[in-house]
Structure 1
């Protein structure tokens, strides 16, 4: 029998953390042993997670070794500037007219003093701990996954100490190309420091992983040896199961996940509000369901519109319960940042959406990677943040299909996005 190769995963997010940041490597760790790799996971001992989902701990095998060291995070100080700054833990903040002076100040502090992010204080103690650990234990490769991109600074230091140990730098989101980067109010010197660190990571890592086709291409242009491995869905056994609905059921459009102001599809809310005013049948049968954390200002505006009586806000649910809510929906919403620079962002939830067999309505920049996936799988339609009439026509067509009982589609070519197949691709790259 051939012994498994050993790989160390360095990640900030791990159960009991909830939300999208934890899913990617939780699933890779689950399937890597099938392809000849034995994972060990290094995490903070006392993290300040923005979302907790204790049910995810059940997905971690007892065979996986977990090692930890303490972290200090400055969020208690940041929260002095206002309760909304708790959003910073999840990479969110207010923009435009919604920004108070405290919010503006805290964003400036965040971007210029915590480079690349507020978890940077974990770098030195982690490097010290892992130098000793790696010297005493054989590994064939190690992974850093960000954001937070401070994880990649740990990687830079370890690669210098262990040059023969293969380093995989995994970017779940871009660094300087992420849409909110321009909102960080950076000084020239801070901007240069971010970009220099990013460039050093790209040139030093043996492998750089991106979660989208466009990001992988952009990373290669910056000197990275980059590959695309998207996120995916875990199980297919629940796919295409028709949901039995009662006669008094609603035509349900659902958003699952975190929705902040920078990805707010205001055009959709306007279309739905107009349909509620114009069509009594639609008004009586439509439901707008939110599962996750929706920015309070978005909710306030919706609840002041004609949509107010149609909203069902369930708040944050465990991953398994959120998946059930996807199954019980008729149309699923996904949003992205509107600028062209974000065309490479593929929100992880799209893959779990695909596994439901339900139609997807998407908003984001033109010719995005999300549009490419929807076109290839015939699973929905992508819109830019414009085109009121086209969005209204699509919603009405879906509503008509629902009334006729045709609520399921048959997406094509989606097996490539199963977590097991994606892990196989990762093992081949390794």
Structure 2
């Protein structure tokens, strides 16, 4: 039996996709002869909380919690909303930023490198160095973002020389919001140097997408493995399909991911098809940007719009299984080509056809093709998008839209954890 110290920031009651990767790994690792020990903050700042996820923490595992000094707690005194957005990686376009938001971004980008959890690094290295002398483990695992946690791994590597696996749920210097942080040349260079050191001092790098893997391979000779996110078979609900022609998006849909091409297509179909407006339901579950809502209403689709707001994970799964079509929207930029939203795999498990829109070259496209889970469009394929939605609507009005039947078991959390356990034993 191997013992793994897992250092992660997002842990229940945190909500959103960031918490689920290691919560699910921890849930299943013991089945593959790996005993997890989790180290996480005692008083973290979580923009989203979902207390139901606490029920999924396996009984009997050791969870170590230590206080963290959170600058976001102080920042909330000036603006709660701006603090919540920035801590979530949500950054408005420059023209729409207030002076306070610009100042907060400058402080976040240049005083806290690589991120606002930097003050947790030194205390954690000191504490864990002492802990490991009395409680030996076989491997140290860090998960970022926040990428400060990789610096904890770096410090422990220098002091203990234990095998270290650095897990990148998202890229570091190439992530989409990095360019919006108003970085000085000094700060940008500091980010790059820290990233380089982590990539080259870790014993193994773990990533969630093939594109991130190929990008990192240009920077380091450290072995890199790709284990995507996935879905948990035990979470899958039983529910009936909506009686409306529901196009459902689960998760945040903010200003930079406003798919105007989709709203244009739906507006045209409302005009061209007599019953389409009566049947259409656009359900956007989670935080939705004002400009997204405005774009929909400007096209006279406001009566078709449903905004349930943020809901718990179990209810989100029910909505995925009951939708006629599932929407997956990504920003149209080169930086997002490597981003594979965690919900993609739960979408696949729901067996409802996926309609995805994103940049021309995306890892999402190949996953959808291999799994036969849906169709991927770039932002220039308006007519192809329209043709598909019309075809699905005709099925809806006729025999019904069938479930997808492709092979998706490779993305089950248990199978992915098996891959992780094999990797742990190989390092």
Counterparts of 1:299-314 in structure 2 under 5 Å?
299-314=293-308
| Counterparts of residues 160-239 of structure 1 (less than 5 Å) | 160-163=158-161, 165-223=162-220, 224-235=222-233, 238=236
Q: Which residue of 2 aligns with 1:109?
A: 107
- Within the alignment, does 1:379 sit opposite 2:373 as a pair? yes
* Length-normalised TM-score, structure 2: 0.95
Paired with 2:176 and 2:48, the residues of 1 have a C-alpha distance of: 22
1:314 match: secondary structure: strand
- Distance in 2 (CA, whole Å) between partners of 1:244 and 1:85 is 38
SS at match of 2:275: helix
User: How far has the Cα of 1:416 moved from its partner?
Assistant: 0.8
Q: Distance in 2 between matches of 1:238 and 1:400?
A: 28
Shift of residue 82 of structure 1?
6.7
Q: Is the 8 A contact 2:241 2:322 kept in 1?
A: no
2:63 pairs with 1:61: no
Structure-2 change in CA distance of 1:349 and 1:218 (3 Å): same
Spell out the pairing of 1:236-255 with structure 2 (5 A cutoff): 238=236, 243=240, 249-255=243-249
Supply the distance in 1 between the matched residues of 2:189 and 2:241 (Cα, whole angstroms): 56
Aligned Cα root-mean-square deviation (Å): 1.7
Match of 1:138 in 2: 136
Matches within 5 A, 1:37-76: 37-76=34-73
1:50-97 deviation per Cα after TM superposition (whole angstroms, max 9, x unaligned)? 111010011101111110110111124434257333211211111143
Q: Distance in 1 between matches of 2:58 and 2:79?
A: 40
User: Does residue 87 of structure 2 align to residue 92 of structure 1?
Assistant: no
Matched residue pairs, number? 422
TM-score by length of 1: 0.94
Candidates 404, 409, 420, aligned match of 1:415: 409
Contact persistence 1:209–1:229 (CA under 8 A): yes
SS in 1 for 2:402: coil
Moved more, 372-381 or 19-28: 372-381
**Structure 1: 5+ residue stretches without partners:** none
SS of aligned partner of 2:367: helix
How far apart in 2 are the matches of 1:123 and 1:135? Answer: 18
- 1:278 shift after superposition: 3.6
Moved more, 282-291 or 408-417: 408-417
Aligned to 1:357: 351
Could you say which residue in structure 2 is the equivalent of 1:319?
Answer: 313
Give the stretch that moved more between structures: 403-412 or 20-29: 403-412
Partner Cα distance (2:184, 2:54) in 1? 41
In structure 1, what is the Cα distance between the partners aligned to 2:417 and 2:402? 28
1:150 equivalenced with 2:148 (yes/no): yes
Q: Could you tell me which runs of 5 or more consecutive residues in structure 2 were left unpaired when the two chains were aligned.
A: none
Contact between 1:379 and 1:409, CA under 8 Å: does it hold in 2? no
CA distance in 1, matches of 2:374, 2:153: 39
